[in-house]
Every structure is written in C-alpha cells, then in structure tokens.
Amino acid sequence: MEFSRRKFIISSVLSTAGLTVFSTPLSYPANFISSLTDPNIEALLSQAASARSNGDYVLSENIYNQVISLVPEEIRAYFGLRKTYLTQKHKEYNVVRLFEQAVNSNPENIRLICQLAKEYTSVALGNKQVEQMLNYETPLLEMAQDLYNLALSLNPEGPSPLARGGGQEDQSTEGGDNGGSSDSIAEVGLEKVETKIDQQAGVVDARDNPSMKTQRRSHQVTFKNRFNELSDSQLASKLNTLKAKPDAQKRAKHIKELYRLNINRKKVSDDYLGACTLAYQLHLFDKDDTNSLGLYRKLALRANQFAQLTTVMKNNDILQGTFWSKLGYFDALKKQYEASPNTSIRNSATTTINQLIHNFNLTPLMNVELGFRKLEMSFMNQNFPDAKNNLIEIGNLLFGSLNPHDAVRFSKAYSKYFVVTQQRDLAMKFIDLLINPESPVDELLINQDSLNKIIVDYNSNVMVEKPQHLDQLYKLREKLYSNSTL
C-alpha cells in the first residue's frame, strides 16, 4: 500500500514533466567511450571533472552521461553533470531535465528527489524563462512540495545510503547539496517551499511582495552578522583554515570577507599595526584588488608604516603602470618624506613628478591632480615662489568649477602656503570669505597680488553649503586662529 502511494506521488510529478515512471532508464549519448566491460567509474568521474576544469564541457558532459548510462544509480555523476551545465551559460533548463530523468531512473533515491525539488524551487523563484520552457500546468512550488513530502515518507526511520556504496563524490569536486542527511535536506526544503507558497511567491512579483521583502532583509542581516558570536581567535582560525584549503583563489570572495572582518576586530581594539599587517596580507592575496589596496593604504598611514607603504605603492605602479598608480606612489613618497626627510626620497619624488608630466596624455582632471602634487613637490623643496605659481595654476584649472570638494581642497592648499610664508592672517580672511561669500572684500587685497585675485574670484563663485564641507572649513579656520600646524 505504501509502495503504491509513493508511486502515485512521484508519477503525478513526473508525468507532468512528460517522463515515464519505472520504465527502462533513458539512454544518454555515449560516443566518447564504447564497449567497456568493467569500467573504472572513479577514473571516469575524475576525467569528467578534469575536462570541466579545462573548459572542455562537451567532453565532460559525454563522460558523465556515459557513467549514468552504465550505472544509473551513480549519484555523483548527476551532480557532476549539473556542475558542468551550470559552469556554462543558459543551461538551467538542462539541469531540471537532468534531475527529472535521474528521479525517473532512481524513483526511491531520496537525495535525487530532494535535488529535483530544489531545482523546481529555484526555477519558480527566479527563472521565468525556464519556467515557461517547462510549461507545466501544476505550479512548480507545489510539485516541489510533493517531492519533499515523498522524500520524507521514503525514509521514516532515519538516513539511508545515498549512492552506490553509500558514497558521494567529494563536494569540492562535484558540488551540489552534499551536506547533511537526506531527511534534514527534505525538512529544510519543505519548510522553505511551504513558506514561499504561503507568501504567494509564484504569484506575486518579489519586488511587490511585502512578506518576501521583509524576509529577504532579515536574511541579509543574519548573513552579515553570522560571525559576530566568534571570538577574535576563532575568527582568525577560520581565516587560516580557509586559506589553507586547495585552490584558494576559488574562495577569494570568502577569504577577503574574513580578512576584512579580522581587520575590523583589530581596529576596534586599536591594534592598527595588527590591522595593517592583515591588510598587507589581503593586498598580497589579490594585488589587482583596488579596494584592498585602498584599505591597506589607510591603515598603513594610521600605523605610520610609511616605508612599507612606499614599497607597496611602487610595486603597484610597476604592476599597473597608470597615471593613477604613479600618483599613488608619489603620495606615499610624500608621506614618507614628511615622516623622515632625506634626499633620496625627495629625488624619487622629483623623478615621479617628471614622469607624471611627460609620460601621459593628461585630461583636465589629471592636470588638477598633477597641479596639487607639483605644489607638494615645491613644499618638499621649500621653493615657495614655485609653490605660489603652482597655486595660480591650480586656481586657473579650478576656475568655473562649482564643486565644493574642490573648494575645500584648494583652501587647504593655499592656507598651507600662506602659513609657511608668514601670512596666516591672509589665509584666515580667505577662509572667512569662502564660509560667508557675503563678507566685504578688501579691494586693496585683490589688487595686491595675482594669487589673491584668483582666490577671491574663485571663493566668490563657489557655494559651500553641505555640512561635511563646512565642517572641514571650520576646523581649518580653527587651526589657523590657534596657530596650529596644518
């Protein structure tokens, strides 16, 4: 009686898919290998995985299909073929058909039944094109619900062997949902499907479904905070364990995430040197990742690791060879020189400036950035006439720009010049004018000097209104009034 009920459930689902139940297993293309009397299944699975890794997807598919035709109950071949399909584009339909055929050949294999239910669920929740290609009258979520219930009814007394010999191909090789018992997979899957049915996921668009939106936000928060309960040592151990696994680059996303979490823990405890060390390791893990490089740069400055920063930025410039990478190298040289002035660093900075001037086709934005670096070079050389000319050049380049960020940056630059040339009061007047454009302007001040005129004209035309920009100007003015170092 129980057998008849199971047969009825699975036949209801698979008849919708147009498959014959408990008939002769479907044949697969087997043109790669023929007339094998005692095939080595392990070797074939390994060959198929290697072919996929090498990008030979046709060969990989043929080998997996050959294994399935020889041993229809070999579950590893189905999951391996699934991975081969999904490594390519637009093969989701093939995956669904694969597991429909797999369940047809193995109607009491719990893992395959659960996987078919999962494929139906995935299509129902996010692949309308495949859903239309399948064109089933019964909603896919309901078909998945029936399959999960069937899986639970097939194994009432606990987990049973999942494959021939009770084994499965290694998860790192073939992927798929290989973790946990069949019962737990079925229970979790059934709970998800029933929730989605209650939410009318197959009827109401997810973008207009309040229940699904709330659930998605909750899952995002939970996922983001999933490591919060780990101690610092446990979090570090998790990173080291992941890095030690083979093919670390395939896990790059998760390794970088763990690096950043460990770095944040160090920052919270004010261990900026430790955070800088981890950020350096993160940069070495992926030297093309500009976000990791930027994180390292900030922490190196915070931890006063100027020499190492210079080396890293130099190597990055050698690797990238762009205007911006060379600009970053110059900035590192400047910071190192400010911390420990010496002729060698200054000469390297001079060479870098000359390369920036002559080796690139400069855009207006590049000219502005270069102008600020030439000004820094003049300060390093204590050549204040050149510094004044640099400021005039920058003012002319910025004239007409209404960007308040540029205004704040320019104000910091000319304030530094006026301070080192013993004209602090002049800097204060210009900052006041920038904060309050309605302030009266001393005509004598304008006519006195070409740089003064450019600053007054520029400050009169730009509006600084955002709190973050005004806050920077107030802090700058406070430093000027208190005779602090800029």
Residue 131 maps to which CATH number?
A: 1.25.40.10
By residue range, what is the domain housing residue 48?
Answer: 2-224
Note whether 76 and 177 are same-domain residues: yes
Average pLDDT over residues 46-65: 96
Q: Kindly state whether residue 277 falls inside one of the protein's structural domains.
A: yes
Q: Kindly state whether residue 341 falls inside one of the protein's structural domains.
A: no
Note whether 374 and 408 are same-domain residues: yes
Number of domains in the chain: 3
Q: Kindly state whether residue 281 falls inside one of the protein's structural domains.
A: yes
Domain boundary among 279, 304, 329: 304
pLDDT at residue 386, rounded to an integer: 97
Residue 169, pLDDT above cutoff 60: no
Note whether 278 and 173 are same-domain residues: no
Q: Kindly state whether residue 322 falls inside one of the protein's structural domains.
A: no
Note whether 125 and 236 are same-domain residues: no
Q: List pLDDT tens digits, range 342-392.
A: 999 999 999 999 999 999 999 999 999 999 999 999 999 999 999 999 999
What is the secondary structure of 225-242 as a DSSP string? TTTTTS-HHHHHHHHHHH
Q: Residue 203: which pLDDT band, with cuts at 50, 70 and 90? A: confident
Note whether 232 and 206 are same-domain residues: no
Backbone angles phi, psi at 321, to 5 degrees: 65, 30
Note whether 181 and 217 are same-domain residues: yes
Nearest CA-CA partner of 463 in 410, 404, 406? 404
324-334: b (≥16 Cβ within 10 Å) or e: ebbbbbbbbbb
pLDDT at residue 27, rounded to an integer: 42
CB-CB contact of 246 with 259 (8 Å) = no
CB-CB contact of 138 with 100 (8 Å) = no
Q: Kindly state whether residue 153 falls inside one of the protein's structural domains.
A: yes
Distance CA 189, CA 92 (A): 19
pLDDT at residue 103, rounded to an integer: 96
Q: Residue 9: which pLDDT band, with cuts at 50, 70 and 90? A: low
Average pLDDT over residues 72-83: 96
Note whether 132 and 254 are same-domain residues: no
Distance CA 346, CA 328 (A): 15
Distance CA 428, CA 392 (A): 18
Six-digit token pair at 41?
């299944």
Note whether 248 and 144 are same-domain residues: no
Domain boundary among 224, 257, 279: 224
Lookup result for tokens 């579950």: 75
What is the secondary structure of 460-486 as a DSSP string? HH----SHHHHHHHHHHHHHHHTT---
Q: Kindly state whether residue 403 falls inside one of the protein's structural domains.
A: yes
Note whether 219 and 259 are same-domain residues: no
- CA 100, 104, 110 angle in degrees (round to 5)? 85
Note whether 191 and 237 are same-domain residues: no
Average pLDDT, the chain: 87
Q: Kindly state whether residue 314 falls inside one of the protein's structural domains.
A: no
Distance CA 371, CA 384 (A): 15
Model pTM? 0.70
Note every long-range contact of 422-425, with CB atoms under 8 Å and residues 24 or more positions apart, other chains counting: 424/480, 424/483
Note whether 211 and 107 are same-domain residues: yes
Average pLDDT over residues 206-221: 88
Average pLDDT over residues 285-294: 95
Q: List pLDDT tens digits, range 246-280.
A: 888 889 999 999 999 999 999 999 999 999 999 99
Q: Kindly state whether residue 324 falls inside one of the protein's structural domains.
A: no
Domain boundary among 262, 281, 304: 304
pLDDT at residue 161, rounded to an integer: 41
Q: List pLDDT tens digits, range 141-159.
A: 999 999 999 999 987 555 4
Note whether 271 and 124 are same-domain residues: no
